[in-house]
Structure 1
Amino acid sequence: MHPMLNIAIRAARNAGNVITRAYEDFDKVEAEQKGLNDFVTNVDRDAESAIIHAIRKAYPDHTVIGEEGGTDIGKDSDYQWIIDPLDGTSNFVKRIPHFAVSIALQVKGKLEVAVIYDPMRNELFSAVRGQGAQLNSQRIRVGAKREITGTLLGTGFPFKARQHTDSYMAIFGELFTEVADMRRAGSAALDLAYVACDRLDGFFEIGLKPWDFAAGELIVREAGGIVTDFNGGHGHMTTGNIVAGAPRVTAGIVSKMRPHLSEALKR
């Protein structure tokens, strides 16, 4: 096993243990609002601490970029761990058992290692650049759909960026007339993992952060999929506007959404 993947898996499982213990003893969970429609719990912070401890123990000089703790610049900034300790906090707070730990390693600007761990189902999605993607050590691939007709798509509402609501609803409506159905489950990391293992045919969302999708991006790509911005380019790391799926499904989604993009979403 790739040594850094091994550390990522260990860190993800440690965080998963923190989350599952808290889920079983829910009276001790404390939630607070950190921004518009954006919540954090003591479990997010404890899980992030568990991840950082595992990374720092193995690689004390690496940089860590976390959702809750911000950027901790190490001596070796070529190695950047991008982590979301609890993707799907709103689900967790409402005791909906659909959330995940997301960990990615970027080396000199390229994603090299990725892990998404669903502690409630004990499902571990992983990838190493150039070595394919796996679910619990079994190889996974994106679906073989060649058009968006009849597909099952995942999405996320722009609840933190409601200025894009009109554009989003227009895009949703355009796609909904073509696809079999759509899902909004509340964890972008798991949505991307599900694209990679053919539970979803495609996915799109507005305004994500790198820790929301970095691990999922590599897992989708290594499973044979494509990840782009809303223009079909590579600006998603900056904009957070992301489309993912099998190559022709991704192209079909981009084509359908293009006429409905506001000027802000075209950038």
Structure 2
Amino acid sequence: MNQTNPNQEPYIVSSKSFTAVAINCAAKAGEWIKSKLGSYEKLDIKVSTHDLVTEVDKGAEKLIRRLILTHFPDHAFLGEESTGIGAAAAASALHDVEESEYLWIVDPIDGTTNYVHGLPLYSVSIALAHKGEIIVGVIYDPSRDELYVAEKGKGAYVHGVPMKVSKEQKLEDSLIATGFPTEQTVLLPLNLAGIQAVAPRVRNIRTIGSAALSLAYVATGRLSGFWELNLNAWDLAAGMLLIQESGGRVTDTAGNPYHLGVRNVIATNGHIHDELHTVLEQANVTGMDL
């Protein structure tokens, strides 16, 4: 067993173990997803026309679940496609399992809309929480064959090379990403107002269409920061650990520390975090009062 702190309970993070299984699941699911690109048979709408699901999403989640439970049959599992539709359903599903000793948190295709349109910006996101704390995070980009891996206390890596967040010290020098919430009545206009507030203050803004990839890009220094409203545990868990282990910072949009229930997020290289938070707060677009 590996131990990052002698005062904490140890957890297994090597050989047969959690990280190896997460990597294997992400790689196999990613390979299968890529093989199905352009050949899905049915497209369903969940919350809105911005929120799509295909049988490939569902099949990939079943594949990942089966592989994980083969190794760890007593572990809990939280997957996007096996959870009901909407924020309330997601919160309820998380509540049912968040006290589990070990909880796998999976988004089989983060960026389904990109996938449906053939845009190569989608990913598989797998995280493992131990008593509510993320200890393993894996994001796999099948299009680029980029595998991002983090273990708590052991750093983060892509292609086996250690990742570090970017060095920008000021918002004005930063490339920032965001996304468009699927809820269109309140949250979409709020995020558009956030873009209006942030855009004049930064070098530029990108909307990648995959929260997991956006977080991975913050971790590897391609982006200086990212914020988005109304996300779920499966969107954030793996990427959050990647960023923390790469030297960055993740909070909710009120500046509070990350936990599994966070839905409105700011993730940065750390240097620009407070400045980005201040801009969003002053524009009253954090979404925390909804």
TM-score by length of 2: 0.86
Q: How many residues align?
A: 264
Query: Do structure 1's residue 254 and structure 2's residue 277 form an aligned pair?
Result: yes
Stretch of structure 1 that moved more, 111-120 or 29-38: 29-38
**One-letter amino acid of the structure 2 residue matched with residue 41 of structure 1:** T
Deviations 1:75-108 (CA, angstroms, capped at 9, x unpaired): x921000000000000111111110000000000
**1:193-208 residue pairs with structure 2 within 5 A?**
193-208=216-231
**1:169-180 residue pairs with structure 2 within 5 A?**
169-180=192-203
Deviations 1:163-197 (CA, angstroms, capped at 9, x unpaired): 02343233212211111111001000000000000
Go from structure 1 to structure 2 and tell me whether the alpha carbon gap of 1:264 and 1:116 turns closer, same or farther (over 3 Å shift): closer
Query: Do structure 1's residue 11 and structure 2's residue 34 form an aligned pair?
Result: no
Query: Do structure 1's residue 67 and structure 2's residue 80 form an aligned pair?
Result: yes
Query: Do structure 1's residue 100 and structure 2's residue 123 form an aligned pair?
Result: yes
How large is the RMSD of aligned CA atoms in angstroms? 2.0
Cα distance in structure 2, aligned partners of 1:177 and 1:143 = 20
Identity percentage over the alignment? 36
Partner in structure 2 of residue 27 of structure 1: 39
The correspondence for 1:211, drawn from 220, 229, 234, is 234
Cα distance in structure 2, aligned partners of 1:112 and 1:152 = 28
Deviations 1:122-142 (CA, angstroms, capped at 9, x unpaired): 000010000000001110000
Deviations 1:190-211 (CA, angstroms, capped at 9, x unpaired): 0000000000000000000110
Cα distance in structure 2, aligned partners of 1:137 and 1:261 = 41
Query: Where do 5+ consecutive residues of structure 2 fail to align?
Result: 1-12, 84-92
Partner in structure 2 of residue 36 of structure 1: 48
Partner in structure 2 of residue 50 of structure 1: 63
Query: Where do 5+ consecutive residues of structure 1 fail to align?
Result: none
- Is the contact made by 1:149 and 1:178 (CA closer than 8 Å) also made in structure 2? yes
Go from structure 1 to structure 2 and tell me whether the alpha carbon gap of 1:222 and 1:164 turns closer, same or farther (over 3 Å shift): same
Go from structure 1 to structure 2 and tell me whether the alpha carbon gap of 1:263 and 1:129 turns closer, same or farther (over 3 Å shift): closer
Partner in structure 2 of residue 90 of structure 1: 113
TM-score by length of 1: 0.93
More strand by share: 1
Cα distance in structure 2, aligned partners of 1:116 and 1:92 = 16
